[in-house]
């Protein structure tokens, strides 16, 4: 027999043995055959998603410019005798400010926009690394981590909730330590839970709340499985509770910190923790289920992000159905990768269904839990049977890679769409005060109002002031000093450009005006008069043109009278 015939015969025998043996015997073959390409595809997809953050001049995240501008103020407040000290103050005792603190420190070594972009990229990369690490610690099939990638660039990041996004990455890593401590109590993971938990509490209180829920459920289930079933069941239950308490207990330090911060901030402004018009509002359950992908991602105008996410969900459903269908064909639960971790998914998905959209004055709450539901699902889905394993792994790699390519492609399109907006900001003089009047704040690439806070980019890049600054909120570390905030307008134009009144007191505090004109107006110089009349009405001939690129214009309104509607 030739060497080629012997090789083919050996392959056939190995395949037959692999299919006929239980999963425990196939495990080494599985790891050798699939782990390396799976890891390569996983990190290639993550790299594509992260690369999307570096191909644009402006990030496609709604609130991000506000947080970047606050970080720049925090950096300037560290400079002795800086003029910002007259209007702003720093409050490090917060549970919504780790992003600002870290970016402000990094900005002493690099440009502020690079620092902010880097922290967002580290948040995404850190979350991806935590998912892979948790899958490995829990001895689940590594391919399942690929199914999380469609939700890596999540609803929360699309809306620019960067403190929460950073807190989510920290929370995920904390769960890795919780799993390690619950399976085998050691000082290293226990200290890691305490330190990472406290960092999560400083980053964002909602991320900390979710961490507590996820850690409790994960710790209990891992501890239960780690205790061998000997003796009476209540003995095992007691040992499980003790082991889980040792793993999760260090989070009490972070919880105490959050309670203390809440007590301090509640005294400052009790009304900040309640929205009388929307508190507790929630869509019906059928909408939460039917439009899960829209609530969980809500990114691209063409909905491709939702298509990729549904592909991931379908694969999860097929894995569960296929394993149930063949439940008598193989000995389930006999291997280290055949025991799904189901409790975190059940609790986190129930939290998604039960949580309102506004709670304790915080908006857009339950959509943020969609990412956590998928996080729990990748731990809960069973391993595929031998006959379907190879094909299923190929599907997972395709889904993971599609998520990376899709994100990068949309970021490239967004870069082309917003290049003119960045160019206008570059043309403006530094150190002044700017407002933005934006028609159509969404783009072809990203459907959310990613340009609504365009003035924040001016403040960060040009070291100036900006309208509708988040410094008015007491929960962030950079806040206005009492009496230093300009008089609030009767009708804000942040999300309603037609309400802009150049003569109101608030507008007079921000004489630089960045405009994104409606699409129907000419984009060349011939459209200038139409843009002036649309924005400034009777003062159209008085304001001075500062810059123009495509649909984006900038005007100086210095000298206009202050007799408009307050």
pLDDT digits (tens, 9 = 90+) for 332-345: 444 444 679 999 99
Q: For the chain, give the percent of residues with pLDDT over 70.
A: 89
Is 487 in the same domain as 541?
yes
Establish if 28 belongs to a structural domain. Answer: no
Q: Which whole number is the average pLDDT over 412-428? A: 97
Establish if 33 belongs to a structural domain. Answer: no
Residues contacting 487, CB < 8 A, separation 6+: 505, 506, 509, 566
- Residue where one domain finishes, among candidates 376, 411, 446: 411
Is 403 in the same domain as 459?
no
Is 404 in the same domain as 473?
no
Establish if 11 belongs to a structural domain. Answer: no
Residues in the chain: 566
pLDDT of residue 566: 65
Q: Is the pLDDT of residue 273 over 80?
A: no
Distance of CA 379 to the CA centre of its chain: 20
Establish if 22 belongs to a structural domain. Answer: no
Is 93 in the same domain as 213?
yes
Is 208 in the same domain as 317?
yes
Query: Alpha-carbon distance 204 to 505, whole Å?
Result: 34
Q: Which whole number is the average pLDDT over 472-478? A: 90
pLDDT of residue 330: 52
Q: Which whole number is the average pLDDT over 467-491? A: 91
Q: Is the pLDDT of residue 362 over 90?
A: no
Average pLDDT of the chain is 89
Is 394 in the same domain as 515?
no
- Residue where one domain finishes, among candidates 411, 431, 465: 411
Per the DSSP assignment, residues forming a β-bridge with 354 are: none
How many domains would you assign to the chain?
2
Is 345 in the same domain as 444?
no
Query: Alpha-carbon distance 73 to 463, whole Å?
Result: 8
**108-111 long-range contacts, Cβ below 8 Å, gap at least 24?**
108/75, 108/78
Q: Which whole number is the average pLDDT over 430-456? A: 95
- DSSP character for 159? T
Establish if 290 belongs to a structural domain. Answer: yes
Establish if 27 belongs to a structural domain. Answer: no
Among candidate residues 118, 121, 131, the one with its CA nearest the CA of residue 39: 131
pLDDT of residue 26: 44
- Residue where one domain finishes, among candidates 379, 411, 443: 411
Beta-strand (E) ranges in 222-300? Answer: none
Q: Which whole number is the average pLDDT over 5-18? A: 43
Establish if 394 belongs to a structural domain. Answer: yes
Q: Is the pLDDT of residue 31 over 90?
A: no
CA angle 459, 463, 465 (to 5 degrees): 45
Query: Alpha-carbon distance 472 to 482, whole Å?
Result: 10
Is 499 in the same domain as 433?
yes
Q: Is the pLDDT of residue 32 over 80?
A: no
Burial class of residue 228 in the structure, from the number of CB atoms within 10 Å of its CB (0-12 exposed, 13-18 middle, 19+ buried): exposed
Establish if 249 belongs to a structural domain. Answer: yes
Query: Alpha-carbon distance 438 to 453, whole Å?
Result: 9
Is 229 in the same domain as 287?
yes
Q: Which whole number is the average pLDDT over 484-508? A: 92
Domain containing 497: what range?
Answer: 420-556
Is 456 in the same domain as 317?
no
**Is 317 in a helix, a strand, or coil?**
helix
Is 436 in the same domain as 398?
no
pLDDT of residue 173: 98
Is 466 in the same domain as 369?
no
Two structure tokens written together for 391: 């094909």
Per the DSSP assignment, residues forming a β-bridge with 480 are: 88
């Amino acid at each position: 027999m030739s060497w080629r015939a012997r090789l083919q015969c050996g392959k056939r025998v190995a395949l037959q043995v692999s299919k006929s043996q239980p999963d425990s015997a196939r495990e080494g073959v599985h790891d050798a055959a699939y782990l390396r390409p799976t890891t390569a595809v996983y990190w290639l997809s993550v790299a594509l998603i992260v690369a999307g953050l570096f191909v644009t001049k402006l990030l496609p995240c709604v609130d991000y410019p506000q947080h970047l501008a606050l970080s720049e103020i925090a950096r300037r407040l560290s400079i002795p005798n800086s003029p910002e000290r007259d209007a702003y103050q720093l409050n490090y005792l917060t549970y919504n400010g780790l992003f600002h603190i870290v970016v402000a420190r990094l900005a002493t070594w690099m440009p502020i926009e690079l620092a902010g972009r880097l922290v967002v990229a580290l948040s995404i990369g850190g979350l991806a690394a935590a998912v892979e690490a948790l899958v490995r610690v829990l001895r689940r099939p590594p391919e399942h981590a690929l199914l999380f990638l469609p939700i890596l660039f999540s609803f929360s990041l699309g809306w620019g909730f960067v403190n929460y996004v950073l807190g989510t990455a920290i929370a995920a890593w904390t769960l890795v330590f919780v799993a390690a401590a619950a399976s085998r109590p050691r000082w290293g993971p226990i200290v890691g839970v305490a330190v990472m938990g406290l960092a999560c509490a400083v980053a964002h209180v909602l991320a900390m709340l979710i961490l507590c829920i996820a850690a409790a459920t994960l710790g209990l289930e891992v501890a239960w499985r780690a205790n061998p079933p000997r003796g009476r069941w209540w003995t095992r239950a007691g040992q499980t509770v003790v082991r889980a308490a040792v793993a999760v207990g260090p989070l009490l330090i972070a919880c105490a910190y959050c309670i203390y911060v809440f007590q301090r901030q509640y005294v400052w402004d009790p009304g900040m923790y309640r929205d009388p018009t929307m508190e507790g509002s929630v869509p019906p359950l059928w909408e939460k289920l039917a439009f899960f992908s829209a609530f969980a991602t809500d990114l691209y105008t063409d909905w491709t992000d939702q298509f990729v996410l549904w592909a991931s969900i379908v694969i999860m459903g097929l894995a569960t159905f296929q394993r149930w269908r063949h439940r008598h064909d193989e000995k389930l639960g006999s291997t280290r990768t055949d025991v799904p971790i189901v409790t975190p998914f059940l609790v986190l998905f129930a939290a998604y269904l039960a949580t309102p959209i506004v709670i304790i004055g915080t908006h857009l709450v339950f959509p943020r839990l969609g990412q956590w539901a998928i996080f729990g699902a990748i731990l809960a889905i069973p391993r595929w049977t031998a006959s379907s394993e190879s094909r299923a792994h190929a599907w997972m790699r395709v889904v993971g890679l599609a998520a990376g390519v899709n994100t990068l492609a949309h970021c490239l399109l967004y870069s082309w769409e917003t290049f003119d907006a960045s160019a206008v900001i570059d043309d403006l003089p530094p150190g002044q005060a700017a407002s933005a009047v934006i028609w159509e704040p969404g783009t072809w690439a990203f459907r959310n109002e990613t340009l609504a806070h365009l003035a924040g980019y001016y403040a960060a890049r040009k070291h100036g002031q900006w309208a509708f600054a988040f410094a008015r909120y007491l929960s962030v570390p950079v806040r206005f000093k009492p009496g230093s905030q300009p008089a609030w307008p009767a009708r804000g134009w942040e999300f309603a450009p037609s309400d802009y009144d150049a003569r109101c007191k608030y507008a007079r505090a921000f004489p630089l005006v960045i405009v994104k004109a409606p699409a129907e107006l000419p984009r060349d110089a011939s459209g200038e008069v139409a843009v002036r009349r649309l924005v400034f009405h009777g003062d159209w001939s008085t304001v001075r043109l500062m810059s123009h690129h495509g649909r984006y214009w900038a005007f100086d309104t210095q000298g206009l009278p202050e007799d408009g509607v307050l």
